[in-house]
Amino acid sequence: MYVVPDQSGTSAVVTGANSGTGKETARRLAEAGAHVVLAVRTPAKGEQARRDILARHPGARLEVRPLDLADLASVRAFADRLTADGTPLDLLINNAGVMAPPRRMTTADGFELQLGSNYLGPFALTLRLLPLLLAADRPRVVTMSSGTAAFGRVRFDDLQWERRRYSPMLSYGQSKLADLMFARQLAAVAEERRWDLLSVAAHPGSTRTNLQTAGASLGRDRTTRPWFARFDVVPTQDVEQGAEPQLYAATAPDVSPGDYYGPTGRMGLVGPAGKVRPTRRALDATANARLWAASERLTGVSLADCVS
């Protein structure tokens, strides 16, 4: 089990911290001494997560703040409130996401739901929080990707799945490849601007959480599992193990810009966290920069507006 180094005096934001790998990550960061903001879509669920963590670690420093990554107005409001506090941000973990809704759905801003929630929302959030991150000593941004990024493809001519027949899993793969490309492009931007900011990515492998059922059940009156989760064909692991790649990426001393962390055991789906190779498409620097530019246009959030 990975032991998180002492985080006393640090401030962290974990999105989707009410359940799954986000909750486990928030718990272990707080246990190590960090002040953790649980950024959640449903505050009541965030408060329950806070109570659960405090029951195990009464001294944990936690607060719950509302954030809906499928709504750019919510992203802006969250960032504005955090900025108004004026506290430097040492760690941003872009953990929240939605997986494989049964049909094409859209965000409050009209984006395809998975691209909007899993990528464009975190993109806008990260840029808006850059001033707080750059005010910290050696800040990190960890963006959660997925093993599905390996078969994802960012189709610049149809990012929103408006022309093609919608595929829940291919859309998910695209959004998670975009996350990986973003993490690497942010690392490139930090190097170019000589920021002391570490941007890395992680994926949880095959971890048992409510991610699969929550997405597949959207728009339905009963809980549903996606087809691939109905067969015991791949190994799985519990959330304590599944959170370790992003915990390692967030806190280990030997992490380098643009690194990618995931399970290193069977099929790359379970086992101890370690450095893994990004899929080939995420290594295309030209495509990464192109995606960044497209994301600025879509969200209306630009680097030039956020950082002078």
- Residues annotated as part of the active site: 172
Residues 6+ apart with CB under 8 A from 128: 75, 76, 79, 80, 83, 301, 306
Tokens 């986000």 locate to 22
Q: How far apart are CA 54 and CA 49, in angstroms?
A: 9
Task: Show the tokens assigned to 108.
Answer: 């409050």
Tokens 């962390």 locate to 261
CA atoms within 13 A on the CB side of 113: 18
Tell me if 161 sits within 8 A of 171, measured CB to CB. Answer: yes
- Phi and psi at 155, nearest 5°, equal -100, 100
The torsion region of residue 33 among left (phi > 0), alpha (psi -120 to 50) and beta comes to: left
Tell me if 229 sits within 8 A of 192, measured CB to CB. Answer: no
Tell me if 17 sits within 8 A of 42, measured CB to CB. Answer: no
